[in-house]
Amino acid sequence: MKLQQNIRWIFGSLILLNGLLVASTPTVLFPVCKSGGVRMACYYTKQAEIGLGAAIAFIGLLLLLIQKREIRIGLSLSLLPLVALVIVYPTYLLGVCHSNSMSCHVGTLPALKVAGSILVVITLIYLRLLTRKEEEHVDRR
Amino acid sequence: MWIEGKEVWKRIKRNHTSTILFLLPIALFSWLVFGGILVDASLSRGMKKLEQRLGADMMLVPQGQAEQAEGFLLEGARGSFYFHQNIEDVISKMEGVQEVTAQFFLKSLSADCCTSEVEIVFYHPETDFLLQPWIESQIKDGIKENQVVIGYAIEPENGKLRLFGQSYDVVAKMAETGTSLDKSVYFPFSALKEVLKTAKKKGAFLTDEQEKEALLSTVYINVLPGYDTSKVLEQCHKQLEEPFDVVYPRKIQSSMGEELNGIYTLLHGMIWIGGALLTALFFLLHMIFAKSRMKEVALLRIFGVTNGSIRNMLWTENLFLCLIGSGLGCLFGVWFIYPFGHYIGMVLHMPYLGPSGLEMLLQWVYTIGIVMAVGCLASLYPTWYVFGKEPYIALRKEGEN
């Protein structure tokens, strides 16, 4: 029971922090190019990532607060498409500036890919831990 | 040996806390070494390519454009600056000049071939001494108006490149530079008029300056060996009517070399200090666990297991941990450092050329080798220490505690 609670705290906090990381990557950590008059692709990617990051952080918070395992499994599953979008927005759907001398191309894009891939790994490990408990539970019955 | 390995693996899986405590410093150390080697090798590769690229003694650019031209030499991003007269012919007749060549830049035009914009450069194939060292295969019959040389990052389709709706034969591809030069397309000067006409027809925005045909962006000069560059410069100031700025690529190269040496010292210092601290931590952990395992080793010896077998077991366990830890550390290196290669280069203002797959694999093997050697060294004394006490003393001491 204690282990389960620890796992909930650790993974909930990790997902919450990663959500904040996603939101702060294009704004604070690796800011996208400054748009003057014309808004470039990276501007829209930034807006989308802020929204995604906030949603992921909110799910992380719920994962911290909610005790019921089934709900946590559902929340973790709902994270997967959001995490996929973290990577897909800057690479395919919205993109960033094309020139490799632009800060969004060399900084924001790889940072978002790394943040997204970390989240994928964390979510999959969490799901594995949650469903493994389920298997053990069924076995015991 | 295999059965022993399986047993050791079981032990590693069973002892979660000690495994994590051992793996963390090993992974951190490997990450540090791998990351250091990766950045170090990429910077020196970029520097070597830069040395080859800065293959001229002097570079003349229009007045006020020296800073932009230096940026072009280092990062490959070209600017739209032009001479209004053909100064190349005048310079070629000057005393002490060994070779002169000129280029014309059309900055960032979108092309059908690529998702991103490409930079178009016109050059003189007859006088050129800058491009040829970069071309992977020699151009046998010279370059014609409907032919192009392309940068490393541009992918032709069936040996052709589509630009402004026109199809051009690709005669050669340049080697990787790690800069914006990789997204350039090179035309001979003879194609300038036709390319500008097609570009304009296809709706590309051209400035008034770009529309005038007899223009040059930069002129590169190599002086005769032993001849003073300042004397050539004096002649330029006297004979050229148009004001100009001079950039000395070789001087930039030497100052970059000095800067890079500073970065190397810092990087190597960090690896050595970090490595020494982590080795000490690794040694301490080994000592702590050696002490906690004295009872276990003593019991094994009492039950008749030979010292050699116990030593083998301890060594195999250590090697397993080093292998897993260093593998993880390198994986994190690839995951967290490799994608930021160009960013590191941009922050340091240095040319950065990342490794190929094979080179990275070699760096990985090299790192694992270093980590395993350090891990074995750190465990030498603790392993000896475990056998240092007679079994009954070890057991009695444990009992007393």
- pLDDT, tens digit (0-9, with 9 covering 90-100), for B232-280: 888 888 888 788 888 887 777 777 777 778 888 888 888 888 888 878 8
For A15-36, write each residue's pLDDT tens digit. Answer: 999 999 999 999 999 988 876 6
Q: Give the helix, strand, coil percentages of chain A, each rounded to 5.
A: 80, 0, 20
Contact assignment for B117 to A117 by CB distance below 8 Å: no
Residue A11: what pLDDT? 92
CB-facing half-sphere around the CA of B187: CA atoms within 13 A: 22
Q: Is B401 on the interface with A (CB under 8 A)?
A: no
Q: For residues B189 and B142, is the Cβ–Cβ distance under 8 A? A: no
CA B63, CA B236: separation in Å to the nearest integer? 13
pLDDT per residue as tens digits for the range A82-112: 999 999 999 999 888 876 667 888 889 999 9
3-state secondary structure A19-75: HHHHHHHHHHHCCCCCCCCCCCHHHHHHHHHHHHHHHHHHHHHHHHHCCCHHHHHHH
Q: How many other CB atoms sit within 10 Å of the CB of residue B376?
A: 14
User: Which positions 96-125 of B are in contact with A (Cβ < 8 Å)?
Assistant: 108, 115-117
Alpha carbon distance, N-terminus to C-terminus of chain B = 35
Question: Which of A106, A114, A117 is opposite residue B342, by nearest beta carbon?
Answer: A106
Q: How far is A5 from chain B (nearest CA, A)?
A: 18
Best CA proximity match to A45, nearest among A29, A60, A25, A20: A25
Calculate mean pLDDT across residues A61-65. Answer: 93
Q: Is B346 on the interface with A (CB under 8 A)?
A: yes
pTM reported for the whole predicted model: 0.70
CB atoms within 10 A of CB B212: 11
Residue B387 is encoded by which pair of tokens? 């056998």
Contacts of B343 in chain A (CB under 8 A): 30, 106-107, 110
**Rounded CA gap, A37 and B274, in Å?**
47
| CA–CA distance, B10 with B280 (Å, rounded to integer) | 27
Please identify among residues 59-88 of chain A the ones whose CB lies closer than 8 Å to any CB of chain B: none
Is some CB atom of chain B closer than 8 A to the CB atom of A91?
no
Which one-letter amino acid corresponds to residue B242? E
* Residue from B39, B27, B41, B43 nearest B330 by CA: B27
Q: How far is CA B251 from CA A34, B101, B254, in A?
A: 33, 19, 5
Cross-chain Cβ contact A114/B335 below 8 Å: yes
Subunit contact A106:B115, Cβ cutoff 8 A: no
pLDDT at B333 over 90: no
Cβ contact (<8 Å) for A114 and B343?
A: no
Q: What is the ipTM metric for this complex?
A: 0.80
Domain edges within chain A = 2-140
Contacts with B340 from chain A: Cβ below 8 Å:
106-107, 110-111
CA dist A76 and B9 (Å) reads: 31
Tell me the average pLDDT across B12-28: 80
Confidence of residue B48 (pLDDT cuts 50, 70, 90): confident
Query: Is the model more confident about A98 or about B38?
Result: B38
Residue of chain A with shortest Cα separation from B181: A100
Shortest distance, CA A90 to any CA of chain B (angstroms): 14
What type of residue is A101? S
Q: Please state the length of chain A.
A: 141
Q: How far apart are CA B122 and CA B217, in angstroms?
A: 10
Name the residue of chain A whose CA is nearest to B184's CA.
A99
**Contact (Cβ atoms closer than 8 angstroms) between residue B156 and residue B125:** no
From residue B117, alpha-carbon distances to B111, B164, B182, B243 in Å are 6, 12, 11, 31
pLDDT tens digits along B342-382: 888 888 777 788 888 888 889 889 888 888 888 888 888 88
* Best of B31, B109, B346, B349 to mutate (most A CBs within 10 Å, chain A): B346
Could you read off the pLDDT of B170-197 as tens digits, one per residue?
888 887 776 667 778 888 888 888 887 8
In three-state secondary structure terms, B341 is helix
Q: For B79, what's the count of Cα atoms within 13 Å in the CB-facing half-sphere?
A: 18
Select from B108, B117, B346 the Cβ nearest to the Cβ of A106.
B346
Contact yes or no for A99 and B75 at CB 8 A: no
Distance CA B342, CA B345 (A): 5
In 3D space, the residue among A115, A5, A106, A95 whose CA is nearest the CA of residue B179 turns out to be: A106
> B111, B116, B211, B126: which is closest to B167 by C-alpha?
B111
Tell me how far apart the alpha carbons of residues B106 and B53 are, in angstroms, rounded to a whole number: 20
